[in-house]
Chains A and B, each alone.
Chain A
Amino acid sequence: MNYRELSIDELHELLVSKKVTPLDLAKEAIALAKADTNNAFEYIMEKEALEAAEALGEPEANNPLWGIPFVIKDNFSTKGVPTTGSSNILKGYVPVFDATVVEKLKAAKAIAIGKTTLDELAMGGSGITGHLGRTYNPWDRSHSRIVGGSSCGSAAATSDGFVPFALGSDTGDSTRKPASHAGLIGFKPTWSRISRFGLFPFAPSLDTVGIFSRNVKDCAYVLNALAGRDEKDSTSSTKPVEDYAKDIEKENKNYKIAVIKEIEDSISNNVVKDAFKKSVEDLKKAGYQVDYVHVSNELLLTLFPTYFVISCAEATSNNANMDGIKFGPLSEGKTFEEVMLNARTKGFGELIKRRFVIGSFALMKENQNELFVRAQKNRRRIVDAINDILREYNFIYLPAAPGIAPKFDDASDKLSDEYLIADNHLCIANFAGLPSLTLPIGFEDGMPFGANITGRAFEDKDVLKISYEIEKLTGLKNLVAKGGQK
């Protein structure tokens, strides 16, 4: 049987009625992963997955994740399973502990099938900088388009239907942008809502665990399993968690939605713009208040440089432990400094080395005020403007990206308004720590594109509920890539 297009609810029903076993699902997912042509995997956990699936006892009717296969971005520690961050500096590294989210999914009896590729150490947005090379978009079988990053392998495996959900991470848009390119749900919860213990840090003031799924309710099930305080992560929130899936279908017509006009205007692709405008009209027709609001272009143009300086500076200090001594491939040297220099020179790719230097320069005493501190002040200016909107509105609704997944050789003008605003506005939710979800709203040339809904901090359930409404209106759910659908 083919389980690729089924939701968690549908798989759960089959499992509970014993029409299928966890072992059947694990075997199929592993066979698909082995036949993957998109370079989605760092490691396929065949032995581990089959053992875990075989060890499950009777089906648990009240546990929707029981026996459900999933994949893990390779920047989460997995005990006894190689974890590379898609970087040569961690080649061969086998952690001695599980990340808390991995532990929680194991406790929920979901079955991990494999570790997925990413932009090296999650620093990138294209899915091309990992040590295994390009990860391809499953919607384009000619392999000419990116799936986006940094969570490229998790996005590819989920959109190809190997698994119904996946773990990603999101520092600037690393779950939500690939979701747009791959026809998926991509969710970044409120900062601190999910423990980050065991997630390789990139920029801790921005990092969150991310969830990919193919429909909104599945995403809520996964959040139920992951949310909550963790004593191993002192930045995890003590606020009580909710049942995020319960009553998700119950409408709340009191929700007020804002669209930032200047971000919509920065997009030149009319197919994306028209689909988004139609989605706004559909929400209005369904009885929701949707208003256009304004944020100055002058402020929006500062999103990317602010993100770039803060993330590079935080990343620089977080990766100092990668020295080729405690772990990583063997490097020669007459002194321990030489060993480290050789290990890091060979181990890190070009892009992240450049980012480390920029970050280090921004942190130097003589530069700090004009770079790092200035970016931190501007971050507050941006967050204040966004929170002003969210005082009056429950959500901000926007196109998630300026178009469909770009081709590998498309060079965007990094200084254009479209790049600086439309291609980078998702980092607003990271600056402010807000819950933010991307979902599909249309197709162009057989390739999907998405919209994004961002809500108030800790109102993750409301974001999921309004997303469920939008999903109902678009009818786009449980999409599986078929190599370019019309």
Chain B
Amino acid sequence: MKTYNIDVLKDAANRLLFDMSEAEYKTLLNEFDIVVKQMKLIGDNKGLDAYEPMVFPFECTTDYLREDEPGEPLSREEALRNSPRKAGGQIKLPRVVQ
């Protein structure tokens, strides 16, 4: 497993596109210590690898496609209503090409 320290955690947070304060990273590091210790204890169970990872509680599949039914799409106004920055009927972002 990858070694963790404050720099690794900062990198992980930045990859998730947010940052935290130094105090928050310290709290996080303490939490990591607890979680990793507990997960190591789980790993010490010799029979664990015999179990298949459980992804969902039980099989619940949909194996057909819905009928294509025409419906009303969102209007431009509705689609843009929640965006904090818009111009000319579109969502506005900073320039990509400088």
Contacts and interface: CB of A to CB of B under 8 A. Distances in A.
**Are A and B interaction partners?**
yes
Given A326-B82, A380-B54, A356 B16 contact: yes
B51 A380 contact: yes
A334 B94 contact: yes
Contact of B82 (A92, A235, A432): A92
Interface in A409-437: 414-415, 430-434
A327 B86 CA distance: 11
B93 A325 contact: yes
Give the 7 A-B CB pairs with smallest separation, nearest first.
A433-B57, A376-B53, A327-B82, A305-B38, A330-B84, A344-B18, A380-B54
Nearest to A347: B18
A378 interface: yes
Interface stretch (A123-131, A154-162, A169-177, A335-343): A335-343
Contact of B32 (A92, A302, A358, A381): A358
Interface in A212-254: 231, 234-237
Contacts of A301: 41
A93 B83 CA distance: 9
Contacts of A235: 56, 60, 62
B49 interface: yes
Interface in A312-364: 316, 323-331, 333-341, 344-345, 348, 350, 353-354, 356-358, 360-361, 364
B82 to A, nearest CB: 4
Given A377-B53, A378-B48, A380-B53, A308 B83 contact: no
A195 interface: no
Interface in A111-131: none
Interface residues of B, number: 55
6 contacts: A191-B58, A309-B35, A341-B14, A357-B9, A366-B1, A378-B45
Given A325-B93, A341-B19, A348-B18, A383 B57 contact: yes
Nearest to B48: A377
B94 A370 contact: no
Nearest to B40: A370
A379 interface: yes
A340 B84 CA distance: 12
A96 B57 contact: no
Contact of B2 (A328, A335, A367): A367
A337 B79 CA distance: 22
Nearest to A369: B1
Contacts of A341: 14, 17-19
B54 A377 contact: yes
A205 B55 contact: yes
Contacts of A431: 54, 57
B74 interface: yes
